Homo-oligomer: A and B are copies of this chain.
């Protein structure tokens, strides 16, 4: 038998050739040195995980459900869990699809909604993972500018008109209205109302990604785009043009990969078919575990909110103390992230090695822009930082920024 050594990289699909290793993944490698204080990741605080409760829940679920917890189960997901989720928004369980992490929800939505060349509207900046989920379906992106209040709705209207005038109306808008990743910003009620009405008028679907909504530590809650869309559809979830995505990753634990999508029945019907081909179903045990843990959830959310709120306050105070004039930053009312804007002309990617040399790390902002921009921005995560790390880290970063500005 002669040895055959084909070059297998030549057999990949066109879509695979457009995929890249996540810029952030590569950046994080630089920052992973043992003595560097890193605000670059976006991990929920592991010291707050209800480990003991999960262990008891595993015992209970395996005792009560036995083999059923370990057998194949329906693609739609575990009905008691779907019913609990549906009740939060007063919709039927048939409008809820359980998915293996929000990331799968975004992938499946891309699969059933996006044709090659379809225009997807995203915030500038937006969640990088969503771009990765949509990319294999080869959309075109249009960026919607944002300011301290989130999406600029007048700019959105201009883009929608422009796309429609070009005869290629946008397919969907992807938005994170609460404590956005990466900026920590929250969209106001007035803008939400305008956004929902505008997109409905233009026939543009909205994917509302809301992993952090429950983690509000200051200010007043604002209705979700989903709720406003539901009202606009006369309360009928099967005609709501807003699709809602959320998860137990940030409120409970991320490692179980339990999340969901709420959508109109025609979309759910296709999500089910797409999910059958994608992983058949989300692990049975994991869905039963989360269901068993639902009574713990309110207390857990309180714990997480209190911790993240204190960490955010401390980080903001330390930034006030240590950062030079001319550096701007967001003041999140919830979630895990804070966004820093340096004077135009400074480049946070070029600056990162200096920061790492000063034993502090962040994520440069530009990878979060679908079409580029934001070279002078950076993201800080406070969710899993200790008080000392925040104090020492912000002082160090302040020194780096002062040096850069000098």
Contact = CB atoms under 8 A, between A and B. Distances in A.
B111 A136 contact: yes
Interface string A258-285: 0000001011011011101111111111
Nearest to A22: B276
Contacts of A254: 70-72
A22 B74 CA distance: 13
Interface stretch (A52-60, A209-217, A313-321): A52-60
Interface string A98-123: 00110110110001111100100000
B51 A20 contact: no
A5 B132 CA distance: 31
Interface residues of A, number: 98
B71 A253 contact: yes
B71 A62 contact: no
Contacts of A73: 255
B280 A103 contact: yes
A166 interface: no
Given A55-B59, A111-B136, A8 B267 contact: yes
Contact of A133 (B104, B106, B203, B278): B278
Tell me the dominant secondary structure on chain A's binding face.
helix
A232 B134 CA distance: 37
Contact of A62 (B55, B70, B133): B55
Nearest to A203: B6
Contacts of A111: 13, 15-16, 136
Interface stretch (A42-50, A339-347, A397-405): A42-50
Count copies of this chain in the complex: 2
B71 A274 contact: no
A106 B276 CA distance: 11
Contacts of A7: 266
B270 A19 contact: yes
Nearest to A21: B273
Contacts of A25: 276
A388 interface: no
Interface stretch (A219-227, A233-241, A370-378): A233-241
Contacts of A257: 100, 279-283
A394 interface: no
Contact of A232 (B1, B232, B256, B277): B1
